[in-house]
Amino acid sequence: MGDVKTKGHHSAGKTLLNPEMIKADFPILSRRIGDRPLVYLDNAATTHKPESVISAMDEYYRKMNSNVHRGLHTLAEESTAAFEWTRKKIAAFIGGVETEEIIYTRNATEAINLVAYSWGRKNIRKGDRIVLTEMEHHANLVPWIALAKETGAELKYIPIDDNYRLDLNNIDKIISDNTRLVSITHMSNVLGTINPVEEIGQTAHSKGALFLVDGAQSVPHMPVDVKAIDADFYAFSAHKMLGPTGIGVLYGKESILNEMEPFIYGGEMISEVRYDFADWNDLPWKFEGGTPNIAGAVGFSPALDYLSDLGMDNIRNHEIELTAYTIAKLSDLKSIKIIGPHDTCMRGGAISFIDKDIHPHDLATFLDSRGIAVRAGHHCAQPLMKRLGLTATARASIYIYNTPEDIDKLVKTLREARRYFCNE
């Protein structure tokens, strides 16, 4: 499969994707919105699912459905094997970590909450510092705001500069000796900025702090090696990378996870229980109380295969090209301002923009009336919006199945919006 879908074009020695062929694997992309074909540019919110993911989940419920880790019958053994097989694939996908270091969660949000509850409540005290950045999604903000409120810890933010990148000039002061945790996004869901996580992680570790990376927007779009980054924790969601909703991942270093208390208590996560006593299961199950999202894990497996077959480098190259194309086309529109870096080497394909006269919600509604799906709003990053002096942006976010023609339709419709709203 990979062959044909990556043979589309070759540019400067790089293999690019063939998004037209890829589109054919995604049933929903043949949908029409009113009388127009769907143009889906809301991939930072969630991505669509290829036939292989949909049919794996369908097959699972038709032929294998059973609870995991407890039955001694064929269905239970098959379900458990499938559930654990995906865990192995995830461990390989993010750089070849230990299977025990991969914890299933509901999503990136729950993965970060797991750390905040399990590690944070035990290790963060009054007077400690937690360092975040000004561009965090609420998922990597609110758990720490709550923890700081509870413990009296202090929150400090790495600022952004005028080019929408992190300003690392005072990083040695911001990540102080009393910093216990540095938690930052790998790629901003609003600005598209890719942050220098290796460098920030090194500073964090040099001060004795742990380093958490929110990879919700990076793992789906570029090769990620959590060991090279030296992240202590790394969080992401399956649904933003072709997989089902309701399943996500927390990677954590084994030595740190071993020291942590469970997050959710109940079945699955114990080794022994008496009326007055309970002891915990081994990693990773210690953190997986209750019946997990088995069908989700089954569906995540072909999603990982699909991405691996295309090649994460090829996906990144495709997105660099299409982001450059989008930025160039949007820059032709005089009323539009892009909110994010223009240099595609340091950004991904979540492209926020504003029109100087039209509210982002009006833009998104107008685009939808022409079959084009974008997101408008604060993108769960209210403090960043305030910092930028904005209340909302419109955001087009691309993925493997998007084409230059999708972008042409977006730009043409943005011109039509000017005629509709501004009589131009």
Footprint on this chain of ligand 7TS (rule: CB under 6 A):
44-45, 107-109, 137, 139-140, 185, 189, 214, 216-217, 237, 375, 379-380
Q: Min. distance of Cβ 229 from ligand 7TS in angstroms?
A: 15
**Distance from C-alpha of 351 to C-alpha of 374, rounded to nearest angstrom:** 10
**How would you label 35-73 residue by residue, b for 16+ Cβ within 10 Å and e otherwise?**
eeebbbbbbbbebbbbebbbebbeebeeebebbbbeeee
345 a catalytic residue: no
Q: Which is nearer to ligand 7TS, 6 or 105 (CB)?
A: 105
Q: Give the C-alpha separation, 92 to 272, whole Å.
A: 31
What's the min distance (Å) between Cβ of 45 and ligand 7TS?
4
The distance of closest approach from Cβ of residue 187 to ligand 7TS in the complex, given in angstroms and rounded to an integer, is 7
Q: Yes or no: say if 414 and 45 are a contact pair by the CB < 8 Å rule.
A: no
| Nearest CB to ligand 7TS, comparing residues 89 and 379 | 379
Q: How far is the CB of 249 from ligand 7TS (least distance, A)?
A: 11
Dihedral sign from CA coordinates of 250, 251, 252, 254: positive
**Sole residue written with tokens 């009388």:** 35
If the CB atoms of residues 203 and 397 are measured against ligand 7TS, the closer one turns out to be 397
Cα 320 versus chain centre, distance:
17
What residue has token string 């270091």?
101
Q: Active site residue: 200, 358, 380, 411, which one?
A: 380
Residues ≥6 apart with Cβ < 8 Å to 317: 14, 15, 16
Instruction: CB nearer to ligand 7TS: give 179 or 217.
Output: 217
CA distance 371 to 364: 10
Which amino acid is present at 50? P
Among 97, 60, 78, residue whose Cα is nearest residue 234: 97
CB of 360 to ligand 7TS, least distance (A): 14
* Min separation Cβ 135 and ligand 7TS, Å: 9
Amino acid at 304: L
Given the complex with ligand 7TS, which of 87 and 375 has the nearer CB atom?
375
Nearer to ligand 7TS, 137 or 221 (CB): 137
* Residues known to be catalytic: 380
